[in-house]
Chain A
């Protein structure tokens, strides 16, 4: 699992881990059911506080991205996340707002943004197939 932490921007480190695990899962670099490293091992590789990693894992578990199996470790969830559709959309809404604001600043039309999103989705799928 390749994660890169940067402490120079203001994003909390646990959030960086959560985002990158989500991204790895979304792009298929992490397969469903695959084991992710134990907290201590990941803390030592990334050189971050183990409590931070634990917090990220807790967050991921809450979001249904990973599941903890008693006494064996933490695994990427095979089942789709148990979050309700509304909550998922709510979580995405903020990102969509940011995207639209940025598009407005750059003077890009809505249709072009939608096209871009579709294109990116297509490229994600090709990566996942590989």
Chain B
């Protein structure tokens, strides 16, 4: 599998062979990835695939047991001040201090970031409809996410790090978050790294993409390349198949009886040959959606 340019000067985040265990469970297993400057990098994977763990390594909240983590060409554990000052972070459940008022949260956060744009923050606060006198803990889930997004974004971070920002939020808040992603990347040189379950969102906004599966990187690269590497085939077998057929160079993910859907990976010539060997003919072929690729890897079987 091809990775995007591994030159660390160009990479905002560079993970090299990162391994992490929690007890006996290996959560990250030799993960290497590079996030190019100015890209929107989407990370997908099932629950428990290690997405949050990976993001916590980028933040330096977790120490890599094996391998190296470089953020802005620095070690986030050894120089937290320099790296964290350039990162905006929004987690799935923003653990904002509930006792603060919205205006206090803004003032408090402002003190940590020299590049904080007070006018921009105030604009966003008004746009999000956050009452300055309201306490964080009395805000709804969506409003808390907006407050978290606000303080993650108001210092115009070079790297915006979003850990499943959309889960459990209504479509309007999700849209606010995606717009923030787009605004961030439209400003020259700024980078977004985000994980999500919502593949449609990822497909819309990201240009680079990686998938974690059981702590390992299933694939990683520019979205176009990933999509070009995979083809969606519908196969028709001579006889009804009771179990998903195993074919070289393909992942079978759904089907019934004689017709089966298959995502071919790698070489294009491989699948027709193996299909013919298995006694099946290709009925249809098209470009797959990200969702189909995801399901083929996460839930499917095959090589």
Residue of A11, A40, A51 with most chain B CB atoms under a 10 A cut-off: A51
Given A49-B182, A50-B182, A7 contacting B290 (CB threshold 8 A)? yes
Contact residues of B between 268 and 303, Cβ < 8 Å to A: 286-292
Q: Is the CB–CB distance between B232 and A47 below 8 Å?
A: no
In whole angstroms, how far apart are the Cα atoms of A101 and B65 in the complex? 57
Chain B residues with CB under 8 A of A49? 40, 182, 185, 204-207
Q: Is the CB–CB distance between B185 and A50 below 8 Å?
A: yes
Q: Is the CB–CB distance between A12 and B178 below 8 Å?
A: no
Look across to chain B and name the residue whose beta carbon is closest to the beta carbon of A6: B200
Q: How many residues of A contact B (CB 8 A)?
A: 18
Contact residues of A between 1 and 52, Cβ < 8 Å to B: 5, 7-13, 40, 43-44, 46-52
Q: Is the CB–CB distance between B186 and A40 below 8 Å?
A: yes
Look across to chain B and name the residue whose beta carbon is closest to the beta carbon of A8: B289
Chain A residues with CB under 8 A of B227? 10, 12
In whole angstroms, how far apart are the Cα atoms of A14 and B291 in the complex? 18
Residue of A5, A12, A46, A49 with most chain B CB atoms under a 10 A cut-off: A49
Look across to chain A and name the residue whose beta carbon is closest to the beta carbon of B199: A7
Q: Is the CB–CB distance between A44 and B182 below 8 Å?
A: yes
Number of interchain pairs (Cβ within 8 Å)? 54
Q: How large is the interface on B (under 10, 10 to 19, 20 to 34, 35 or more residues)?
A: 20 to 34
* B287: contacting residue among A7, A8, A10, A48, CB under 8 A: A10
Given A40-B186, A44-B182, A49-B40, A8 contacting B200 (CB threshold 8 A)? yes
Look across to chain B and name the residue whose beta carbon is closest to the beta carbon of A15: B287
Distance (whole angstroms) from the CB of B283 to the closest CB of chain A: 11
Q: Is the CB–CB distance between A50 and B288 below 8 Å?
A: no
Q: Is the CB–CB distance between B185 and A10 below 8 Å?
A: no
Chain A residues with CB under 8 A of B288? 10
In whole angstroms, how far apart are the Cα atoms of A47 and B289 in the complex? 18
* A52: contacting residue among B183, B207, B287, B292, CB under 8 A: B207
In whole angstroms, how far apart are the Cα atoms of A5 and B289 in the complex? 13
Look across to chain A and name the residue whose beta carbon is closest to the beta carbon of B232: A10
Contact with A along B187-210 (1 / 0, CB 8 A): 000000000000110011111000
Q: Measuring CB to CB, which residues of chain B are less than 8 angstroms from any residue of chain A?
A: 40, 175, 178-179, 182-183, 185-186, 199-200, 203-207, 224, 227, 232, 286-292
For the complex of A and B, the 4 pairs showing the least CB-CB separation, nearest first, are A10-B287, A7-B203, A7-B200, A47-B178
Mind listing 6 A-B residue pairs with CB under 8 Å? A13-B203, A40-B186, A47-B205, A49-B40, A49-B182, A49-B207
Known: A44-B186, A49-B204, A52-B207. 19 other contacts (CB 8 A): A5-B204, A7-B200, A7-B203, A8-B291, A10-B288, A11-B287, A12-B287, A13-B203, A40-B186, A43-B186, A44-B182, A44-B183, A47-B178, A48-B182, A48-B204, A49-B182, A49-B185, A49-B205, A50-B182
